[in-house]
Amino acid sequence: MCKNKLFIIALVPLLMALPALCFAQERIDIEEEKSFYFMLYGVFSLVQEMGSVGEYVPGVNDFPVTPAHSEYGGGLGFFIDISDNVALNISGEYLLGTEVTKTDPSDGETYTYKTYDNINALASLVVKFGEDIKFFASAGGGANILMPYADKEETGSLGSIIVITPPDKTMNIMAAFGAGAIFDLGATFLKIEAQYSMIFDYEKDSILLRLGFGF
């Protein structure tokens, strides 16, 4: 199953790029037109609910559901024009953890803890359409890296002591698919993007909104 997912991640960007590569009128002359941009942007991430009540196991997985929550952060990267219609985007972003409240479905006990900070490292192929305002679709993949803290204890609402331990695996493969618009400002550009990301082993899906500035 994992091999099939990896195959899909590799295949989708190639299929997206094929029409643009066929119809691109000319390659960008690096000496005449800028084709390499450094990017700086802010990120808002809406993380979907993780786990289910059906995964409840007394004494093993007493709090099986992590509710939906938001993460905020920033990042930097490189935007490289390959042709008039195709670009490569390489980026890294740091997202801050946030407080969430988990519930024991058997007795309703709750406890609140802070999720881990995490890093997304992504490479995406971008297909662009339009003139002054370019609309685009993107697909790519990379890795999500958790930044776990040491074991810590929290006290539940009914007095139970909950020990939070970091996961054994902190780096997981991810895929990302996005769409947005690029506003040409001359030597610079403004990029607005909505992206859906899937982190496979950690089973974390999220919708990310980015506002980026390239120069």
pLDDT tens string 83-138: 989 999 999 999 999 999 999 999 999 999 999 999 999 999 999 999 889 999 99
| Beta bridge mates, 87 | 81, 126
Can you give the residue ranges of every domain in the chain?
2-21+36-117+139-151+168-214
Decide if 50 contacts 91 (C-beta within 8 A): no
Give the tokens for residue 162. 């909950």
Proportion of the chain above pLDDT 70, given as a percent:
85
Closest listed residue to residue 122, CA positions, set 31, 195, 29: 195
pLDDT in tens, 24-43: 333 333 334 678 999 999 99
Q: What is the 3-state secondary structure (H, E, C) of the chain?
A: CHHHHHHHHHHHHHHHHHHHHHHCCCCCCCCCCCCEEEEEEEEEEEECCECCHHHCECCCECCCCECCEEEEEEEEEEEEECCCCEEEEEEEEEEECCEEEEECCCCCCEEEEECCEEEEEEEEEEEEECCCEEEEEEEEEEEEEEECCCCEEEECCCCCEEEECCCCCCEEEEEEEEEEEEEECCCCEEEEEEEEEEECCCCEEEEEEEEEEEC
> 56-70 as b/e, with b when 16 or more CB fall inside 10 Å?
beeeeebbbbbeebe
pTM higher than 0.85 = no
Q: What is the pLDDT at residue 109?
A: 98
Q: What is the mean pLDDT of the chain?
A: 87
